[in-house]
Structures are given as structure tokens and as C-alpha cells.
Amino acid sequence: MSTTTRSASPASPSGPLSGADELNRRLGGIRTEPAESPQLEALALAVSANQPVLLWGEPGIGKSAGLGQLAAGLGLELETVIASVHEPSDFAGLPVVGEDPAATGVPMAPPDWAVRLARAGQGLLFFDELSSAPPAVQAALLRVVLERQVGSLRLPSSVRIVAAANPPSSAADGWHLSPPLANRFVHLRWTHDPRTVARGMAGTWPEPSVPVVDPGRVPGAAARARGAISGFLTARPGLVHHLPADAENRGRAWPSPRTWDMALRLLATGYATKAGREAVAAALTGAVGDGAGLELLSYLEHLDLPDPDRVLADPDAFALPERGDRQLAFLIAVVSAVRDGLTRERWEAGWAVLAKAVDAGVPDVAARAAVDLAAMRSPNWPVPAGIDGFLDLLRQSGALPSGG
């Protein structure tokens, strides 16, 4: 097993505290070894998907240390902002009056940490002690988290945002998060393993690997995720939006169109990185909440979609799934794959796939996919034979002229 040794700081000059400094230097030198950590993998998954993440855990449990470890693994600079000690103007910006404000307006000056991130072009922005920030500060943070706007400065899209919070019961002057702010984060529970801490006290800490997106898996991952999430919400429309009744749960993860978009991106990133099931499960429930998330995970477990790109390469070599929900999810994935790499050959292969739904006696399952596929047609492409079973539907939808 390979290990890495992190050297302590250089020896300090001689003096009354030189012995104490030497002792602290020795205690600061640690070794690391490869290890698995589903919670750090879930955090890395959300950061790779560029979704704002909120780590929930008791004080002193290692949230900041875990984030520092991730930043080092990703090669990103970590910029830490203690949210609880700032004023709303620190995030909204302070007005800077110029010579002629009536002509030029009054720009809002951003803080120094925002300027450093903008100059670097990327980085990891860490808001600590979020649950200790009063409601006025939380409201000011909304625009930073959602629009990446700090005063008059817009942060680069490659800047990742992570926050940490203690439960209100253990936070200093703790507040429940407002529903609008809570609904903008992927919520992850941060815990500790006593055995890991004990080994760390002996001088060896784990160094989990960070999942990396495989460029070759990106097209298929995007299509599979679209098919899965769209198919699930078609089957369970009541889970599209559900605001919890109590203040505590409103300040955590709950399903909304915004968080389902988060789940889509997290699932696609999971497919593209081959992330572990436990990490993907934590990320998905952290986006849409435990109730909706567990139903989604059960649905995914039995879904097992074929790779849509392989099917498009040879549409005659596959059989349509038997279950209706799998059929719908698969056809949506196929159409998404065609859209992501649109060519005449792939478009015609898509119709060959949809024709199997007609042959199987379930054209209604493929109806929406047919409308979407027809809308991608280039004017000079001939109408394929597989479209025959959908002509009436396409004419009614306007996707095909009445005389086409």
C-alpha cells in the first residue's frame, strides 16, 4: 500500500519556545494512505457536477479538514469565508460613488476574496458556519449561491461553492436555513469514523481518491441520466415539488424543479465517473430529500438502462424493455443521445428504435419521444419509414405538416 508523508513546518529559531515549537513540528508531520470514503466521494461528486454543497455536522467533526483535503486533490485554491461574522453588505457589495453617479451609476464593490477568485478563474469557495448567519445575511447569500454575483462582480462559472453548517441545536446562535437558500444546496451529512480518528492520532490519515469524469462516457451518461430522471418524474408527478410543513425540514433538502435539475446533473456525473453507489445515493438524497430520493434510488436499482449510444449504433440488435417505466426512460435516453450528437444516421436510428414501440403495441409510450425526435429533423432529410406509426400524432402536435 502506497503512502504519502507530509513534512511538518521548518524548525523555528532558538529561544524559550524552541523546544515547544519542535514538539509541535513533530506532531504536525503525518502520513497518508489510500482509502475509501463514501462521504468524501459524494462531496467530490457534487463539486464535479458544479452544484452548491452544504455539509451538515456537529462542531469539530472535520468538515473543514475534509474540504481542504478535497481542494488539494482537485488542485484548487480554497477560499474560506465565515458567513456568521459578515454583514449582508459583504455579499451584496458596498457602494462606491464616482465623480458623476447620475451618468455612470454607483457600482457595488466586491470583497477581496471574490476578487481573488475572479482573477484565478477557478477555485473552491467555502462558506463556513452558515447556520449561525442571521436571516439577513442568508438572504444576501442567495444571489452569490444562485447567480455567483458578489456586488458588481460575477464569479467565474468554474468556481465551486461549498458551505458547512452545524445543526441549529449545536450552532452558536443557530438559525434554521430559509427555504429559498436551503433549496439551492445539495445537503450532505458529515460524520466521523472513530477508528479513522484513532489511526490519525497515531500519525496516519486516509487520503481518499477523487472521482474524475471520463470524457468518453459523457454523452452516454447525460442521455441515461435524462431518461432516468424524466421517466421517474413522469411516473411520480407528485414528487416534482413538495415543500415540507415544518421549519426544520424546510431548511434541508426537499424536491423542487430546481433540485431535480441538481439530481439530473449529479446522476449524470455519477455515471460518467463510475462513482460508488453509496456516494451517488448520498448525493441524490442530499438534493431532493430522503423521501423522494429513496424512491428514486429504488427506481434506478431496477431500471438498468442499455447504453443509448450502443443502441443507436445498431438499433436492430436490441429488444425493447418489457416494463412500461423502463420503456419510457429508455426512449427518452435514446432521443437525448440523438440530440447530443445529431447526425442524419443517428436520427434515423432513433426512429428505428421508436418503431419497436409501435411493433410492441405501445406507441403511446413513445409519443413524447417521437415529437422531440421529429423536431430535430433537418429540412433536407427524408422522412424515415419508422415514422409511419406516429404520423397522426405528429400532425396534431404541429411537428409535421398536415401534408407531410
CATH for 85: 3.40.50.300
Same domain, 123 and 266: no
Same domain, 140 and 231: no
**By residue range, what is the domain housing residue 369?**
215-397
Residue 357 lies in a domain: yes
Same domain, 250 and 383: yes
Q: How many other CB atoms sit within 10 Å of the CB of residue 376?
A: 15
Residue labelled with grid coordinates 477508528: 195
Residue 22 lies in a domain: no
Q: How many other CB atoms sit within 10 Å of the CB of residue 302?
A: 9
DSSP string, 320-338: --SSHHHHHHHHHHHHHHH
Residue 387 lies in a domain: yes
Same domain, 343 and 295: yes
Q: From first to last of its 404 residues, what are the pLDDT tens digits of the chain?
A: 455 655 555 655 678 898 898 998 888 877 888 878 888 899 999 999 999 999 998 888 888 888 888 888 888 999 999 988 888 888 888 777 766 676 667 778 888 999 999 999 999 999 998 888 888 898 889 989 989 999 889 999 999 999 998 886 655 556 788 899 999 999 999 888 888 888 888 888 787 778 889 998 898 899 999 999 999 998 899 999 999 998 889 999 999 999 999 999 999 999 999 899 999 999 999 999 999 999 999 999 888 778 888 899 998 888 888 888 888 898 999 999 999 999 999 999 999 888 888 888 777 777 888 888 888 989 899 877 767 667 666 665 555 555 54
Q: Please give the Cα distance from 190 to 43 (Å, whole number).
A: 10
Q: Please give the Cα distance from 371 to 373 (Å, whole number).
A: 6
Q: Is the model's pTM score more than 0.85?
A: no
Count: domains in the chain: 2
Same domain, 236 and 384: yes
In 3-state terms, what secondary structure has residue 56?
strand
Same domain, 242 and 379: yes
Residue 72 lies in a domain: yes
Same domain, 173 and 246: no
Q: Please give the Cα distance from 72 to 74 (Å, whole number).
A: 5
Same domain, 128 and 275: no
Same domain, 291 and 167: no
